[in-house]
Amino acid sequence: MAAGSAPEARGLMDEQTFLDNFNNLIYPHKTYLCYETERMQDDLWIPLDEYKGFLQNKGADEGSERRHAEPIFLGDIASWNLDTELRYRVTCFISWSPCADCADELTKFLTKNRHVNLRIFAARIYDYLQGYEAGLRKLKAAGAEVAIMSLQEFEFEYCWKNFVDHQQDEDKPFPPWDNLGVRSEKLTKKLAGILQNQED
């Protein structure tokens, strides 16, 4: 199966939108998902800029059916018609980790699409609904890499540079908030415990 037509070009996220939604010390009601796609070629991952962008969940307040960001994203991937004979790596930077239902949907996708590797870096853990721990473990067992965004590994800076509109100042540095590193470390330990099937 050949690759489908490229999606329309995606814009960049407003600076304040990024800071409001990826700040791991606050708890916004929206979920933003930034994504990029690479194809394996000669043992190297080659960026596919036509499959790069961001999206957000849809809420009932917008006059439409409530939908989480992950199912919306999976719908987008399906429209790309990625060549099953090639290897792809999709990396997501998401403001909340997947809930149990979304983790289940992502797991089903990976089971059916062995030619796609998935990496998920979350700003915070979505722990409001039961079953999220088992969902994250299932996702990892399906081959996904699941991790917390951190300052030390530069995921926040990477997103700031690659998915955010800096208007006139393209070299504007990422402005870390107080206690970002401390909070990331706590969330990293919590996620490690979840993935090892330990109690919080």
User: What are the start-end ranges of the E strands in the chain?
Assistant: 13-14, 32-41, 44-47, 53-56, 88-94, 116-122, 145-148, 164-165
User: pLDDT per residue over 73-89, tens digit each?
Assistant: 999 999 999 999 999 99
- pTM, rounded to two decimals: 0.89
60/132: higher pLDDT: 132
Q: Is 8 annotated as catalytic? A: no
CATH of 13-195, one of 3.40.50.720, 3.40.50.2000, 3.40.140.10, 3.40.50.1980: 3.40.140.10
User: pLDDT per residue over 8-54, tens digit each?
Assistant: 445 899 999 999 999 999 999 899 999 999 999 999 999 999 999 99
Nearest to 99, CA basis, from 75, 118, 120, 77:
120
**Residue 112 backbone phi and psi in degrees, to 5:** -90, -15
Of these residues, 70, 105, 133, 155, which one is catalytic?
A: 70
Distance CA 166, CA 189 (A): 32
Distance CA 2, CA 101 (A): 30
- Read off the pLDDT band of 60 (50, 70, 90): low
Report pLDDT for 76.
95
66/62: higher pLDDT: 66
User: pLDDT per residue over 105-157, tens digit each?
Assistant: 999 999 999 999 999 999 999 998 889 999 999 999 999 999 999 988 899 99
What is the residue whose two structure tokens read 């009932």?
60
144/58: higher pLDDT: 144
